[in-house]
Amino acid sequence: MTNERSMRGLVFWVLSILLILSGSAEAQYDTLQRPLKAEDLFRSKMPTQLDTIYYPFYDGVQMIEVDHIDFWDRKIFFLEQIQPRAMHHSMFHPMPVGNEYFFRDTTGTIVKAFNTKYDLSTLTKRFREIPIQRRTHGFRNLFPYHSSQDYKGVWYQSPQVLFDFSGFYKVSTTYAEQASTHYTDTDFGQVKEVKYGLIDSLGNLVVPMEYDAIIPYYTYLLVQKNQQWGIINYRNKIVVPITFDAYKFDAYSLSIDPEKTLPVYFMSGKDPNNKPNDFTYAAIFLPQQNELLTLNHYDEIYRRNSHRLDAETNRAVFYVTKNNKKGLLSEDFQEIIPPQYEVLDLQHKKGLFRVAREGKFGFWNHDYETIIPLEYDYVEDFSADSTALVLKNGEFYRIDVDNKKKDAGNLQPDWIIEPLHFRFNPNYCSVRYVDLLGIIDTTSNRMILPMVYHQSFHPIQVSHFYTKHQSELEAKELSTATPFDMTDELLFQQNKLILQHSNGRFGVMDTSFEILIDFKYDKLEAMSVNLRYLLYSRNGKTGAMDYSGKELLTEKYEELRYDDHYEQERDIFKVKRKGKWGVVNFENEILLPCEYDSIKFLGHWNRPKEKLWVVGKNERFGVVDKDNQIFVPFEYHWISHLESNNLWVHDEANRRYKVVLRK
């Protein structure tokens, strides 16, 4: 055993030395290199010359390969070792399109050439002094002939993965020094349009140079043509139609089994004109079965880490999403559950699926049969005592697997609760459980928005509604006025949509496109603090109304102002009547009568959240509270703000000074 290990070690070191020595093949066009020294084996150096490889004659033809790919690879390796940086050096030194390939006959004449800028006559002269019996010795030619079961060609191809075509060689309509990436002419001077094909080791063109890209894929070739992807074989026969916008390998099928090939997904663009990188899963090619399966244009296909449903049947599933709804595929990519559910999670403690559709939660068993109806606003996993916490009609309690109600006890929902943006009702909070999000009214424990959102409060439903009904909106000359936000999402839940007509006027419709408020307003804005009301502007007049078009304020005012910058002002309007200003609330109750020349909220720091206004009267300014009681007498020419007990005021010359108020 010891001798066997020693022999293995010796073979390893011999092969290692051969690998190193193989890098010293003849330089391009037979340029001589200096002898290899021992210290060179351990010193990293920038490569300065390309290697030229002379293959043995076969059937009267010798192939000569100028190895630009290996030279580029050694250069990038040197730069990464000596000058490491955040961005890979290959981003600044793009890979060449390939190697140069020359073919000469027994007279020394170059009869074919690929990926080169030189003509045959020039190449013949350059190689005239190279003996026709010249061949490169080294590791890559220790075993020059390969079994036809392993390789289609005579010689093995480049060690670069993207050039490993099992004995065939990638050629193009340009020359090897050109970069393989498609930059514009002003970037690096590269040719933008490059077409690729394959030759065999005798110089015969087996795949014509008509493809935008060719990538080796087991016994097939992934190809791109006219910006579309598909699969051909080495005889240039179509295996998968070249009609897809992108491709993606099935990472979940990775295996150490060399006989197990990796399936590839083919993608279609949702909207190639506007979102070229937004794709759906249109098909999957199974190379072992040589079969293309059509998929239902899913947005996402994935497996969970523990995707096995049960140990007895060893069943597995793929999760799919489409339009933010989840479904299931079997292991052979057949649709088991259509993507119609916001939540579809396998809970391994009890072997049940937690399911939600249209904001209502329940549970399925392994056979996708409902065992607990989808009637809850929120459910958690079953715990060790075989009960789960649920929320229904504003009440938290527990249920068992038979859906029997149990007392909640001291259990609290395992969610994170956070306040929303300051513009919203202070009683509304976001709730987050794992990756589910919703909005709850903390005063009643009722869900304002169902827990069907993922990752963020992006207005998903509104966006998809407009996308789906875009043609109908355009036919009615309607569009959205601003980017969607949470106000739009909340209104959408109430079946209300604020739209703008092509004539610039605003109105309100429901999701059936029935008009709730005519399109006659210069501006319409939802009051996010109270979504029952709208602010409007029409013919220079501002006002507030509900979604039936009824005026919020029964009295007629010359002007109405609403400001939500300060929390204390979000439930009031400043109103003007007969040239004087006052304050009313949403119920039209008068807080300050219309008797002041001007009115401004008194910004104050480090004080309780009081409703205080700076008001002007008879060319003097003072401060009043929500009951119209004088907080600061009318003695000053201007009052700017209140800091704790310090009132900052201005005198007649507009000089600012501080007045200390009594506590």
Q: What pLDDT, in 10s, does the model give residues 602-653?
A: 988 777 888 999 999 999 999 999 999 999 999 999 998 888 888 889 988 8
Question: What's the confidence (pLDDT) of residue 192?
Answer: 56
Which residues have C-beta within 8 Å of that of residue 134, sequence separation ≥ 6? 26, 54
Query: How many degrees, rounded to 5, is the angle at CA 541 between CA 616 and CA 555?
Result: 70
Question: What's the confidence (pLDDT) of residue 424?
Answer: 73
What is the C-alpha separation between 446 and 53, in angstroms, rounded? 76
Contact yes or no for 352/335 (Cβ under 8 A): no
Alpha carbon distances (Å) from 581 to 421, 584, 585, 616: 30, 10, 14, 10
Pairing of strands 275-286, 291-298: antiparallel
| Spans of the chain below 70 pLDDT | 1-44, 135, 137-161, 179-192, 253-260, 271-277, 304-315, 348-349, 422, 455-458, 663
Tell me how far apart the terminal alpha carbons of the chain are, to the nearest angstrom: 95
Question: What's the confidence (pLDDT) of residue 404?
Answer: 94
What is the C-alpha separation between 658 and 245, in angstroms, rounded? 69
Contact yes or no for 232/207 (Cβ under 8 A): yes
Question: What's the confidence (pLDDT) of residue 36?
Answer: 57
Question: What's the confidence (pLDDT) of residue 394?
Answer: 93
Residue 300 has which token pair? 């996402």
Query: Which strands make up the sheet holding 446-454, listed edge to edge?
Result: 416-419, 428-433, 436-441, 446-454
What is the C-alpha separation between 398 and 382, in angstroms, rounded? 10
Contact yes or no for 212/196 (Cβ under 8 A): yes
Question: What's the confidence (pLDDT) of residue 142?
Answer: 40
- Does this model's pTM top 0.75? My answer is no
Tokens 């207005």 label which residue? 459
- Exposed/middle/buried for residue 349 (C-beta within 10 Å: 0-12, 13-18, 19+): exposed
Q: Containing H/E element for 572?
A: strand 572-577
Among the listed residues 482, 486, 487, the one whose alpha carbon sits nearest the alpha carbon of residue 499: 482
Which residues have C-beta within 8 Å of that of residue 538, sequence separation ≥ 6? 520, 521, 522
What is the C-alpha separation between 431 and 417, in angstroms, rounded? 5
What is the C-alpha separation between 553 and 546, in angstroms, rounded? 10
* 112 DSSP β-pair partners: 103
